[in-house]
Structure 1
Amino acid sequence: MDQRISFITLAVEDLDATRRFYRDGLGWSPELDVPGEVLMFRAGEHLLLSLWDRRHFEAEVGATMSGPGVAPVTIAHNMPTPAGVDEVLAAARAAGAPVVHEAAQRDWGGYSGYFADPDGYRWEVAFNPGPVGRLVLP
C-alpha cells in the first residue's frame, strides 16, 4: 500500500449549513456538490475533504458515535507565518466559526489556534517553524 491519504471523510448533520460555512464563509470551491448527500473540496494536490450527510454516511459505513465531547480528530491548516495564523482564524470567525482556542505560542515551538466547523470538527491553524512544518506547505 502506498503511503498516502486520498480522502478525509467527515459525517455532518446539516449539509446545507456545512456548505454555507465552507463555500460561502471560507470561500472554498467544491469539486463535487450533490445536494442532500455529499460535498467535496480539493484539500491538497491529491487529497479531497469529503463532507457526507450523516444518514448517507451511516448507510454505507455504519452507525456513528455521538455524545458529549469533541470528535477525536483534528484537521490542520498550516501557514508560513504567525500573522497568517491570525488571518485565517479571523476569516473563520467572520464565516461564523467559534474560535475555541485563540492562537498562542506552543511548547513545541510553533504558534497555533483552533476553530470549529458547523459540526464541531476542530481545525488547527498553525505556524510550525520546524522541518515538519516545511513538509506541509506548498
Structure 2
Amino acid sequence: MKTLDEVRDFFANDKYATQVTGIEIVKADPGHSEVRLKIDDRHINAVGGLMGAVFFTMADFAFAVAVNSDIDSEYVTVTLQSSISFMRTVGSGTLTAKADVVRDGKSTCVYEISIYSDDNTELCRVVTTGSRVRKK
C-alpha cells in the first residue's frame, strides 16, 4: 500500500481537481478516501451558493482516489456512470467528501460518495459505477 504522500504526488497530475479547484487528499485507502475543499469565491454560483460542478468534481475525485489508491496497479478504474443528489447548498466553509466502496467486482465497481459541510451536514450524495481498464 502506498503512503498518503505518494498518493498525493500521483494525483497532483489531476490538475483540474487539485490546482484549478483546490481539492486536497486527506485520506487514501483501497475502497475509501476523504478529500477536502475550502470554499472561496471561484466556487460560488450567481445566486451565492456552491456551484453544482464543485460538488461533482469533489465526488469524482474522491472516487478516483479511493478506487485507484494502488497507483502501481496495471489497471485503472474510470467513471462509467454517476448519479448525484443535491440536498443542501452552502456558500462558505470547508467541505469533506467521503468515498466508500459498495461493491468491488472483477471489471466494475460501485461507490457511494457523500459530501459534508463543516458541521457534518450531508450536502449531497453520489453513486458512481466504475469500469476497470488496463493502463495504456
TM-score normalized by the length of structure 2: 0.26
Higher Rg? 1
Which structure is higher in strand share? 2
TM-score normalized by the length of structure 1: 0.26
